[in-house]
Structure 1
Amino acid sequence: MSENTTPEGVLNTVVEGINNGDLDSLMKLYEPNACFASEPGQLAKSPESISQCLRVFIDLKGELKLKVKRVLQTSDLALVTTEWSVNGNGPDGNPVYMAAKSADVLRRQPDGTWKFVIDNPWGTD
């Protein structure tokens, strides 16, 4: 797994976790009170609901590609914008392609790692 000692490292771990189907590694990237934008305007606010959102991406059994575009960091907070895409298959077996620009807020933890406070994969559209 990637080092989560930088905001960019956390996003690399997301790619590895989605592409390897490792939900446990993904869930370790979120603060207990984090939220996840499951779709524009909808927020998942519990670990269980965040897990369900991440499972949707894993279940595509595709390849997530992500490029960090910008990291704005001050003290223990960072705003990270990315461009991402995923090619996979829906539950019906038909091809699925999704792409967007994300805006995520991460916080440095006391142990020096970074975790999501807000994960918004639809964040800049």
Structure 2
Amino acid sequence: MKPSIPASQVWKPEEMNAAFADAYNSGDIDQVLALYEPNSIHVHSNGSLEIGIHSFRHTLEELLLLQGKMVSTNLYCIPFENIAMLRAHFILHTVDPDGQPLVLQGYTSEIVRQQPDGSWLYIVDHPFGSDVME
């Protein structure tokens, strides 16, 4: 399955995190998945590797169920040829099951690759990149 073209393609790797937040805020899973190469890797919150969009689509759909508003700020981008390593700080404002305001935040780690058309897509997405994995 090939994802659709995102509403706004990413032309600079340091803009990838903001593009993810925009796609999340759209509530459209296809916009979110369009930011990933088809065989990319997503690290699940339990530490397992989900390889390929088909394996992590459900994880991202669950994230969308929070129906929050996300801001994701790039902290650094280290480019090397056609890849770049990123780190971001995200804040997600949502509500808990009782309707009370809830703020989720953390630090991510990602690797993106430049595509033949010059745009950038995730090849590794680790939303919990600052967490200690056991």
TM-score by length of 2: 0.83
In structure 1, the residue matched to 2:88 is 82
Tell me, yes or no, if the aligned pair for 2:18 and 2:74 is still in contact at 8 Å. Answer: no
Q: Which runs of 5+ in 2 are unaligned?
A: 1-6
Of 39-48 and 23-32, the range deviating more from structure 2: 39-48
Aligned length: 124
Q: Which runs of 5+ in 1 are unaligned?
A: none
CA gap 1:89/1:8 in 2 versus in 1, 3 angstroms: same
Residue 14 of structure 1 aligns to a residue in which SS? helix
User: RMSD of aligned C-alpha atoms?
Assistant: 1.7
In structure 2, the residue matched to 1:106 is 112
Letter in 2 for 1:35: I
Distance 1:70 1:20 in 2: 25
Tell me, yes or no, if the aligned pair for 1:31 and 1:117 is still in contact at 8 Å. Answer: yes
Tell me, yes or no, if the aligned pair for 2:109 and 2:129 is still in contact at 8 Å. Answer: yes
Q: After superposition, what is the alpha-carbon deviation per residue over 1:37-58, rounded to whole angstroms, capped at 9, x for unaligned?
A: 1215222112122211211221
The structural deviation recorded for 1:67 is 0.9
Residue 59 of structure 2 aligns to a residue in which SS? helix
Distance 2:111 2:98 in 1: 34
Task: Give the alignment partner of residue 65 of structure 2, picking from 43, 51, 59.
Answer: 59
Tell me, yes or no, if the aligned pair for 2:83 and 2:113 is still in contact at 8 Å. Answer: yes
Task: Give the alignment partner of residue 29 of structure 1, picking from 35, 42, 47.
Answer: 35
Q: After superposition, what is the alpha-carbon deviation per residue over 1:86-113, rounded to whole angstroms, capped at 9, x for unaligned?
A: 12135x4555432111010000011101
TM-score by length of 1: 0.88
The structural deviation recorded for 1:15 is 0.7
